[in-house]
Amino acid sequence: PGHFVINDDAMANFDGGPTFEYSDPRRAKNIRWGTLNFDLGKNQVQSFLISNAIYWLEEFHFDGLRVDAVSNMLYLDYDEGDWTPNIYGNNVNLEGVDFIRRLNKEIFLRDPSYLMIAEESTAWPGVTQSIDQGGLGFNFKWNMGWMNDTLKFFKLDPLSRSYNYRLITFTFMYMFDENFILPFSHDEVVHGKESLLGKMPGDNRYRQFANLRLMEGYRMVYPGKKLSFMGNEIGQFLEWRFYEGLEWETLSREYNLEFQDYISTLNQLYLSEKALHHYDLSAKGIIFLEADNPDESIVAFIRKGEELSDCVICIFNFTPVERHNYRLGVPLPGSYRILLNSEMKEFGGNWLYQKEIFQTEDKAHQKQDYSIELVLPSLSLLLLVPDTIDEEALAKLQAKAAKGNSQQTSNQLSKFNS
């Protein structure tokens, strides 16, 4: 519904005049895309578009719809060229907002389990908020800011990432403003943009795949739902081309098979580890450990579920420098085990052996009461989970918090018990 093509045998000037498009040529023509804009204020146009959406959902049993170019329907000045303010003197397309709300209302009246996903690239508030609360009524939104910043960050020479560290951490400021989906979609692997693998820096396939494993791991454990375009999971070399199939022949190469196995492992962990999905859309699901370390370009956070021990600690080393004696704050006393190391040989990395179990020390670090020390492989993601919990130490910790001797400890326990 965002726009439609100018085509003599389609909807442009359908009956010899502007039927589906605006009568005002300035509003009708979309200069940026060379298309026409629907006149969303006409009842017959709204009926046509909403009926079309219902048709795809009910007759073809789609799970939902991703609505393209929502920004073009929200703003009068989104396109290039002249524009006229609305009756209130601002740039909001009132007819567009009304149409979007009516579309979502009609869809969810039929089945509230449908997915209505906005591809919206601005900071318009309440895209996934209910209509009753003043929102647009979608239940998900593509996180275009996260996608753009993440791809821009990973395209950089890893040794210069410390100067662009904010690209990877700024998204933490708004990660729960909407119900987000993290998209590596068709839009990012067409029209000369290269495949995801082609975007990765490095002078050899090993370095490129190391970056790609790190980026895909970052997406999978970052809060929010996931979307990946076909071919991403096999490390396709060429960008997607509509006139031929995917590069299935790449799976005859060992490193593509290793990467496919890595993606399969990530998918299985996302399903099996409740902490990675239970609070996907809530700030309850994350505690930041390291988000201000540009010199080493390290980020660390805890993904969290309902139970005290239901947590996954995620550490990212975004540089090709192996970090020794890295101290990591952990929330519970006892031991932790490695759940995933993206640099293991089985995934195409260069680590043959990984120490699996780490005992906690009574050293507070990163606002946690305990810590462990480990080695961070270069260009890697490490995931750790509790292996054993020291019940005696935990009881002392709880008693200490109950006495009010440690506000920090109390805060941490309340986070894990909330």
Q: Indicate which residues carry an active-site annotation.
A: 68, 119
In terms of residues, how long is the chain? Answer: 418
CB 351 within 8 Å of CB 344: yes
Please give the radius of gyration of the chain, using alpha carbons only, rounded to the nearest integer.
Answer: 25
Smallest Cα–Cα separation from 30: which of 104, 67, 81? 81
- Kind of pairing between the strands at 334-341 and 64-67: unpaired
The contacts found for 146-154 with CB under 8 angstroms, 24 or more apart, are 146/171, 146/175, 146/180, 146/182, 146/222, 146/224, 147/182, 147/183, 147/184, 147/185, 147/188, 150/215, 150/218, 150/219, 151/188, 151/199, 153/318, 154/199, 154/200, 154/201, 154/211, 154/214, 154/215
- In DSSP terms, which residues pair with 163 in a beta bridge? none
Residues 6+ apart with CB under 8 A from 161: 153, 168, 297, 318, 319
Q: Which of 160, 372, 341 is nearest to 168 (CA)?
A: 160
Per-residue tokens: 267: 């998918």
Question: Do residues 249 and 237 lie in contact, with contact meaning Cβ atoms separated by under 8 Å?
Answer: no
Dihedral angle over CA of 24, 26, 28, 32, nearest 10: 180
One-letter amino acid for residue 153 of the chain: F
Which sign does the torsion angle of CA 168, 170, 171, 176 carry? positive
User: 316: part of which helix (H) or strand (E)?
Assistant: strand 311-317
CA distance from start to end of the chain: 43
CB atoms within 10 A of CB 87: 6
Tokens (6 digits) for 71: 């920004």
